[in-house]
Amino acid sequence: MIEKITIAQLLQARLEKRKIAAISCYDYTTAKLVAKTDIEMILVGDSAAQMMLGFDSTLPVTMDFMVTITAAVRRAAPDKFLVADMPFLSYQLGVNNAVKNAGRFVTEAGVQMIKIEASEPYLNVIKAVSDAGMAVMAHIGIRPQMVAKTGKLKAEGTTAEMAVELVNLAEQMIRNGASFLLLEGTAAEVSKIITERFDVPVISCGAGPDCDGQILIAPDVLGLIDGPKPKFAKSYAQFAPETIKALTAYNDEVKNNSYPDDLHSYHMKKGEFEKLQQILK
């Protein structure tokens, strides 16, 4: 029986000052590869709306879609610590709705933690989901689900006043039951203060090096993004050009009839073709 990485192990990593590696991915095939590494945490993020479905924001992705792809990732990586991202309107319509939707991720997809893009109006949601027995990761700093209201995404905590608000918000999230924090697009100095001030693990998504862990999306790590990407995103391979090269080679072989060759074709058993010819006469 495979033993899953637990929240207790991640809390211990923080105590021992061991960095936590996390990655966002959205599909069985990629998660199967992540499962072969020592990365501890997979987040199935609502950025699937952009990475998988081609939308220009995270807003259109649905709860049903998120549950389906999260369950696929769990099947591929049964031992990783799995976090699910609550999509837009899955928790904004009241605590009962929020708890029900969070519970779907647990019962239908086997997650161990629920991520919620959090601000003061949703402290009751953080508390309700936590009180229902689910671990919560409060996502603060840049919150992509607010893009319709803000018009664009920009770094958070870049002034003293903004930094104080963010530190206070982090404290409120923890007081209301958040077990983890995720800081996105936050000034490194502020992230360091939050990480040192509070006892819960803090994961950085473009929030500097001093948090307890880091997260990037798999398409950025693999160099699959053909276009601009955030300042903090780093690619550790360049599979986009290699993928285009492979697809071009496939196209060429199909067009010149060199694929499939004999090696990549099925054949009748010995003597069966001759028998078929006799039957068809």
**Contact assessment for residue 202 and residue 212, using Cβ atoms and an 8 Å cutoff:** yes
CA dihedral of residues 128, 204, 19, 174 (deg, nearest 10)? -30
Which domains, from first to last, does the chain contain? 7-237 (3.20.20.60), 243-280 (no CATH)
In the three-class reduction of DSSP (H, G, I as helix; E, B as strand; rest coil), residue 169 is classed as helix
What pLDDT is attached to residue 228? 80
How confident is the chain (281 residues) per 10-residue block, as mean pLDDT? Answer: 87 97 98 98 96 94 98 98 97 96 98 95 96 98 75 82 96 98 97 97 97 97 88 94 96 98 96 96 88
What pLDDT is attached to residue 148? 57
253 is catalytic: no
What pLDDT is attached to residue 13? 97
Rounded CA separation 213/112 (Å): 17
Which residue among 16, 171, 184, 189 is the active-site one? 184
Q: Over the stretch 218-268, which tens digit does the pLDDT of each residue have?
A: 999 999 998 788 889 999 999 999 999 999 999 999 999 999 999 999 999
What pLDDT is attached to residue 10? 97
What pLDDT is attached to residue 229? 84
- For residue 262, what is the DSSP state? G
Rounded CA separation 194/167 (Å): 6
> Could you write out the three-class secondary structure of 184-249?
ECECHHHHHHHHHHCCCCEEEECCCCCCCEEEEEHHHHCCCCCCCCCCCCCCCCCHHHHHHHHHHH
Interaxial angle between packed helices 123-131 and 95-109, expressed in degrees from 0 to 180 and rounded to the nearest 10: 50
